[in-house]
Amino acid sequence: MTSHLPRVAGLTLLIGLCIVYPFLPGDYDAAAVPLSTSVQLYGAAELALVPMGITWLAYEVRAHLRRKRDRQSTRSAYYFAVASLITASVVASAVTLLVGFGISKAMGLFGFTLWFYAVYRVLPRLKSLRRTEAARINPAPLYLIILPPAVLLVGLALAAPLTEFSRNRAIANSGEFIRDIEAFHDKHGEYPVSLSAMWKDYYPDVIGVERFQYSRFGDSYNVFFEQPRFLFDNIGTREWVVYNPNDEHRMFSHTAGFLLLTPEDLDRSQGWYAVHDAGVPHWKYFWFD
């Protein structure tokens, strides 16, 4: 059991790194947000295994004490292992389908492949456990007890500080982009009509933020980016962070609105449900569900 504690700690650290990955400094990685969201979903769903893990561990301790007294113990560990594997498989299959259809097909396929491999590795040990009672306490319930709550706690504890950190970092790194837009205005007397291009040239330097986007709006403009979010921090919310030099911020949920609505109706139907001051002049962030 003692030898497995560092492994549990290392695995917890690895899972935590997967969760916070989109919020760290670095070049954009398209897999970062799907990976983080998927890991958080798996961790939350596997909380269903914690009660079984506690019961299994209690049995293991009791069986170990009986063995120390040279008393025969039952071979119930096998049944705990089978029940845990079946429950974990059902939960993992449901979450993987959700990930595949709702987040990323590639991530869903990877999840199924990883789980099939894990089951393939576990089955021989399961058969061995059926034949003979282990001489020591089985460490498996330790993983069931510690890992799912650890995943949830990482998300809850780091959601606010890491979201703010990555948002502020991307805002700070937009300075050169905004200065060049203003320099264009000083030179030509108007703001660019569009800045859409294949190469982005200006980098947020946040792994989960792809690029800065630009849209001209009247005599002003908006610079904006999508901020990654933790799964359980206002579930289902998407956040867009917007700069407008005249504080005339606009952020719209649907492209069709530009084509089908009058400017007045479009302005009233932007689609966000909350707006917040970002704490930096001329920056706000909008929440969409």
3-state SS string over 96-135? HHHHHHHCCHHHHHHHHHHHHHHHHHHHHHHHHHHHCCCC
Residues 128 and 9 in one domain: yes
pTM: 0.83
Give pLDDT tens digits for 68-111: 776 555 567 778 888 888 888 888 888 888 888 888 888 888 88
Residues 177 and 142 in one domain: no
Q: Are 250 and 222 in contact (CB under 8 A)?
A: yes
Q: Are 174 and 201 in contact (CB under 8 A)?
A: no
Out of 158, 188, 219, pick the residue that ends a domain. 158
Q: What is the CA radius of gyration of the chain?
A: 25
Give the number of domains in the chain. 2
Out of 112, 132, 158, pick the residue that ends a domain. 158
Question: CA 143 to CA 157: how far, in whole Å?
Answer: 21
Residues 24 and 153 in one domain: yes
Residues 149 and 187 in one domain: no
Task: Tell me the residue range of the domain where 267 lies.
Answer: 167-288
Residues 135 and 154 in one domain: yes
- Is residue 138 very low, low, confident or very high in pLDDT (cuts 50, 70, 90)? confident
Cα-Cα end-to-end distance for the chain:
45
Residues 171 and 239 in one domain: yes
Give pLDDT tens digits for 39-71: 888 888 888 889 988 998 888 888 777 777 765
Give pLDDT tens digits for 156-170: 889 999 999 999 999
Residues 30 and 117 in one domain: yes
Residues 130 and 218 in one domain: no
Q: pLDDT averaged over the chain?
A: 88
Residues 147 and 194 in one domain: no
Residue 177 backbone class (left: φ over 0; alpha: ψ -120 to 50; beta: rest): alpha
Residues 200 and 268 in one domain: yes
Give pLDDT tens digits for 153-205: 888 889 999 999 999 999 999 999 999 999 999 999 999 999 999 999 999 99
Q: Which of 80, 96, 69 is nearest to 142 (CA)?
A: 80
